[in-house]
Amino acid sequence: MISQTLRDARRYEDAMAQNITPLERPEFHLSPKVGWMNDPNGFSYYKDKFHLFYQYYPYDSQWGPMHWGHAVSDDLLHWEYLPAAIAPDMPYDYVGCFSGSAITLPDGKQLFMYTSVRKEAQPDGGVRDIQTQSLAVGDGMDYEKDVRNPILTAEDMPENSSPFDFRDPKMWKCEDGTYRCVIVNDRADGTGGRILLYRSEDGFNWEFESVMLSNDGRFGKMWECPDFFALDGRQVLIVSPQFMRAEGLEFHNGNNSIYFTGDYDKETMTYTRGDARQVDYGMDFYAPQTVETTDGRRVMVAWLQSWDNFMTPEDMDWTGLMTLPRELHVEDDSLVQLPVREIENYYTGERSYENVTLENQSAELDGITGRSFDMTVEVKKEDLEGFSILLACDDENYTELYYNRYQELFTVDRTYSGLVRDVICSRSMKVANEKETIKFRIVMDKYTIEVFANDGKQAMTTLIYTDLKSQGIVFSSDGK
């Protein structure tokens, strides 16, 4: 049975989406059908298609009571909208259906676990949001919430847990047919997020197993949106901590997405972690979630926005985007990420230039212009001091990518991208190698700039809202 709340949302999104022309949307990144989008949810391969759900408030271009939006794709780049999958329509989730994940059950149905949020009066007279986990089962279009919801509550957490911060379940199926799930929570005294591990025989009955990892105040406070998977012989844990403090160029203030590579002992279910690193050094990357493709690739997508930087122009009927889906690998205990190879099927009008010499000068290259492209730039370091690439340029606006060869720093700066709010505009990352050249791959899709340096060893994602008429690309060099 589809609730009235969900029916209303579906009717509304269908009607309003007609006002948004394809021209104002990105070409190969997912944006919300209408209204607000944040985290990717339920990223899965089901019934021969990729399904990507997302935190969704159709009625406004601001966060509101969360629904799950829904899109499907054959190749992770061309997305088609399906009707919103779930809505905040129950006494236990009317504040929102927060983030969660999806698995396929043995009977061929798809199962969601999501965070159900309701309000509850507190002994001190206040009212707080209570977070629990709930289930819904569906066929890839319509989903029915489980009558036993919520299925994980404060009673299913270890001692000294906060009922206000318990969210973002990520499930997976084990080789023996049982299921596991990681969920983040905070301690009752607010001293920091931890990863709780749950186990289930059937996907419906879940039991607390262990505290897999505790933050202990080291990486921000509460953690959000965990993901946990084996890759290239290592066990990777990704999590998005809130309220972090900047550390060098590795971590920035506020919400970060970080990863650990480590070892997981399946018998004792313990995780031994290595050092933490940033997943993406840009200004707009949060809450990544991964899926395993049928050909064994681990693919990650994230929300291409930041809680700390709102810059959507007021006249837009939609806000929020997903990053390009990225293929992941672990090399030397570091995450390497590159756009999914399917992007090559979309190339038209290829151009290439070799042995272009710029010596303390700027140049445009014939045919190299526009707002949607996949461009690789390889620069000889020998007599170079630095070089810059200006994107989305016109007489007034540009976003600058700058590489300082001596400091081995790569910086993105959107100060002059046409912003009228004082949001964070610049961020840098260390990009070093032992080679004679340095290589950057830049994928732009109207509003988004995703840079993959050193063959994916570092990534940096940035959102700009420069008018789409600004199409210029200018290359400059300091030195040769």
Contacts with ligand FRU, residue ranges (CB under 6 A): 38-39, 55, 66, 98-99, 115, 167-168, 224-225, 286-287
Q: Taking the complex as a whole, how short is the minimal distance between the CB of residue 23 and ligand FRU, in angstroms?
A: 29
The closest of 184, 191, 252 to 221, measured between CA atoms, is 191
Rounded to an integer, what distance in angstroms lies between the CA atom of residue 453 and that of residue 429? Answer: 10
| 3-state SS class at 5 | helix
Q: Using omega within 30 degrees of 0 as the cis cutoff, is the peptide bond preceding 150 cis? A: yes
Cα-flanking dihedrals φ and ψ of residue 368, to 5°?
Answer: -100, 95
Cα-flanking dihedrals φ and ψ of residue 126, to 5°?
Answer: -80, 175
CB of 158 closer than 8 Å to CB of 188: no
Which is closer to ligand FRU, CB of 93 or CB of 374?
93
Rounded to an integer, what distance in angstroms lies between the CA atom of residue 100 and that of residue 183? Answer: 9
Q: Taking the complex as a whole, how short is the minimal distance between the CB of residue 302 and ligand FRU, in angstroms?
A: 10
CB of 452 closer than 8 Å to CB of 429: no
Q: Taking the complex as a whole, how short is the minimal distance between the CB of residue 223 and ligand FRU, in angstroms?
A: 9
CB of 155 closer than 8 Å to CB of 185: no
Which is closer to ligand FRU, CB of 179 or CB of 286?
286
**Is 39 a residue of the active site?**
yes
Output the six-digit token pair for 258: 């970080």
- The closest residue (CB) to ligand FRU is 98
Which is closer to ligand FRU, CB of 225 or CB of 438?
225
Rounded to an integer, what distance in angstroms lies between the CA atom of residue 241 and that of residue 244? Answer: 7
Q: Taking the complex as a whole, how short is the minimal distance between the CB of residue 224 and ligand FRU, in angstroms?
A: 4
Work out the burial of residue 355: count CB atoms within 10 Å of its CB; fewer than 13 is exposed, 13-18 middle, 19 or more buried. exposed
Q: Taking the complex as a whole, how short is the minimal distance between the CB of residue 267 and ligand FRU, in angstroms?
A: 31
Catalytic choice (39, 165, 186, 280): 39
Rounded to an integer, what distance in angstroms lies between the CA atom of residue 57 and that of residue 8? Answer: 12
Rounded to an integer, what distance in angstroms lies between the CA atom of residue 29 and that of residue 325? Answer: 9
Q: Taking the complex as a whole, how short is the minimal distance between the CB of residue 299 and ligand FRU, in angstroms?
A: 20
Summary count for the chain: helices (H), strands (E): 1, 31
Which is closer to ligand FRU, CB of 99 or CB of 470?
99
Which is closer to ligand FRU, CB of 44 or CB of 399?
44
Which is closer to ligand FRU, CB of 301 or CB of 453?
301
Which is closer to ligand FRU, CB of 306 or CB of 448?
306
199: CB partners within 8 A, 6+ apart: 178, 179, 180, 181, 206, 207, 209
Active site (catalytic) residues:
39
